[in-house]
C-alpha cells in the first residue's frame, strides 16, 4: 500500500456541519464534549479558542472514525505516520493510540481556556499572515524588525507572525513593500508567542497527570518536526513556540510518505501540503 501520513487540522479549520458530523458518526463523543466542556462547544466555536478547540478536536476524531468505516476492512487507511497542526496534535495522538479520548478532550478544553485567558491577560495580541512567494525567506527578518514572533511556518508561501496587535500594521506595510500580501487574522490572542507564557505552568502540570502510551505509529511533533520524544514537554512547548508545519511535511516526505490524508473539518492542510510538496497524493477525507 502507498505509504501514508494522516494529518489533523488545528484552529481556524472549523466548518459548517461539524456538529452534525460528530452527532452522526460519534454521538458518544458529542455527549462526552457536552460533559467535559459543560455546554455545547459547537454552538460557540466562533466566539473564541476556549470553544473552538474542543469542537475541532471532536470533529477531527469523528472524521477519523468516518474514514475508518468508509472502506472495506482490507482497504482501510491506518496510516504509517501521523501529525497535527498545533491543536491537531492531540487528535493525532488519540488516533495513534497514545492518548485516551477523554484525557485528550480534557486537555484540549483546558488548553483552549488557558490560551483564551492568557490572551486576555497579556493584552491586545494578534496574528498577521504573510502570503506570497518569498514569505518563508522574509518572515524572520520582518518579525525581528517589528518585535514579533514567527508563529506558524505553514508553507513556503504562508507564514504567520504573532505579537502585540499595535505592531501588526507596521509589519503589514513592510511586508507589502517586499511584495507580500499581509492579512490580520481574527484571533483572540498572540498564539505561539511569548504572550502565551502565562498558560504554560498550569497546562504543563495537567500534562504530567495524564498517561501517554507508546503510539502504534509514529506521530511527528510540529514543534520539532520530528517524531515526539518527550510528549508532555513538547505539548507544553507548543503554546509559546512556532508551528513548524512546512518542515514537518518535508520530514514526513523524507521518511517515505507518498500520500497525505487530511482528516477532520476544512481543507487547510491539504492546501498547505500542495504548496510545499511535489509528486505526492493529497486526499481530503
Confidence of residue 68 (pLDDT cuts 50, 70, 90): low
Q: Which CATH superfamily is domain 4-121+193-284 in?
A: Malonyl-Coenzyme A Acyl Carrier Protein, domain 2 (3.40.366.10)
Answer yes or no: is pLDDT of 15 > 60. Answer: yes
pTM: 0.95
How many Cβ atoms from other residues are within 10 Å of residue 120's Cβ? 14
Can you tell me the mean pLDDT for 35-40? 96
**Domain 124-184: CATH class, spelled out:** alpha beta
Residue 161 bridge partners (DSSP) = 128, 150
74 pLDDT higher than 50: no
User: pLDDT tens digit string along 215-238?
Assistant: 999 999 999 999 999 999 999 999
Single out the catalytic residue among 60, 192, 193, 221: 192
Q: What is the mean pLDDT of the chain?
A: 94
* Maximum pairwise Cα distance, the chain: 55
End-to-end CA distance of the chain: 17
253 has catalytic annotation: no
Query: What ranges do the domains of the chain cover?
Result: 4-121+193-284, 124-184
Decide whether 4-121+193-284 matches 124-184 in CATH topology: no
pLDDT of residue 187: 87
Q: What is the structure's pLDDT at 218? A: 96
Q: Which residues pair with 282 in a beta bridge?
A: 260
Active-site residue flag, 86: yes
Split at pLDDT 50, 70, 90, the class of 285 is confident
Q: Which residues of 224-251 are buried (b: 16+ CB within 10 A; e: fewer)?
A: bbbbbeebbebbbebbbbbbbbbbbbeb
72, pLDDT greater than 80: no
Percent of the chain with pLDDT over 70: 96
What are the residues whose beta carbons fall under 8 Å from the beta carbon of 46, sequence distance 6 or more?
14, 52
More confident residue, 102 or 78: 102
User: Is the model's pLDDT at 69 over the cut of 80?
Assistant: no
Provide, rounded to the nearest whole percent, the portion of the chain with pLDDT above 90: 86
Q: Which residue has the higher pLDDT, 264 or 93?
A: 93
Per residue in 140-160, pLDDT (tens digit) is 999 999 999 999 999 999 999
Grid cell at residue 274: 500542495
In the set 13, 86, 162, 221, the catalytic residue is 86
Q: What is the pLDDT of residue 239?
A: 98
Q: What is the pLDDT of residue 71?
A: 54
- Residue 70's pLDDT is what? 53
Contact 249, 222 (CB under 8 A): no
Amino acid at each position: 500500500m502507498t505509504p501514508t501520513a494522516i494529518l489533523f487540522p488545528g484552529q481556524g479549520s472549523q466548518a459548517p456541519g461539524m456538529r452534525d458530523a460528530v452527532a452522526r458518526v460519534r454521538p458518544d463523543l458529542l455527549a462526552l464534549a457536552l460533559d467535559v466542556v459543560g455546554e455545547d462547544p459547537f454552538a460557540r466555536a466562533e466566539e473564541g479558542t476556549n470553544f473552538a478547540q474542543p469542537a475541532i478536536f471532536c470533529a477531527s476524531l469523528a472524521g477519523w472514525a468516518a474514514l475508518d468505516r468508509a472502506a472495506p476492512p482490507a482497504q482501510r487507511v491506518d496510516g504509517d505516520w501521523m501529525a497535527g497542526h498545533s491543536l491537531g496534535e492531540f487528535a493525532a495522538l488519540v488516533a495513534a493510540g497514545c492518548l485516551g479520548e477523554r484525557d485528550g478532550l480534557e486537555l484540549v478544553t483546558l488548553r483552549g481556556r488557558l490560551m483564551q485567558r492568557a490572551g486576555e491577560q497579556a493584552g491586545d495580541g494578534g496574528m498577521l499572515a504573510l502570503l506570497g512567494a518569498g514569505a518563508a525567506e522574509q518572515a524572520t527578518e520582518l518579525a525581528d524588525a517589528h518585535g514579533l514572533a514567527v508563529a506558524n511556518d505553514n508553507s513556503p508561501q504562508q507564514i504567520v507572525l504573532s505579537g502585540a496587535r499595535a505592531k501588526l500594521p507596521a509589519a503589514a506595510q513592510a511586508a507589502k513593500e517586499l511584495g507580500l500580501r499581509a492579512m490580520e487574522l481574527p484571533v483572540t490572542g498572540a498564539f505561539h508567542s511569548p504572550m502565551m507564557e502565562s498558560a504554560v505552568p498550569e497546562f504543563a502540570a495537567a500534562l504530567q497527570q495524564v498517561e501517554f502510551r507508546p503510539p502504534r505509529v509514529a506521530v511527528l511533533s510540529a514543534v520539532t518536526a520530528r517524531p515526539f520524544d518527550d510528549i508532555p514537554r513538547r505539548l507544553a512547548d507548543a503554546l509559546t513556540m512556532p508551528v513548524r508545519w512546512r518542515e514537518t511535511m518535508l520530514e514526513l516526505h523524507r521518511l517515505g510518505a507518498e500520500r497525505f490524508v487530511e482528516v477532520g473539518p476544512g481543507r487547510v492542510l491539504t492546501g498547505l501540503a500542495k504548496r510545499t510538496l511535489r509528486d505526492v497524493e493529497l486526499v481530503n477525507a
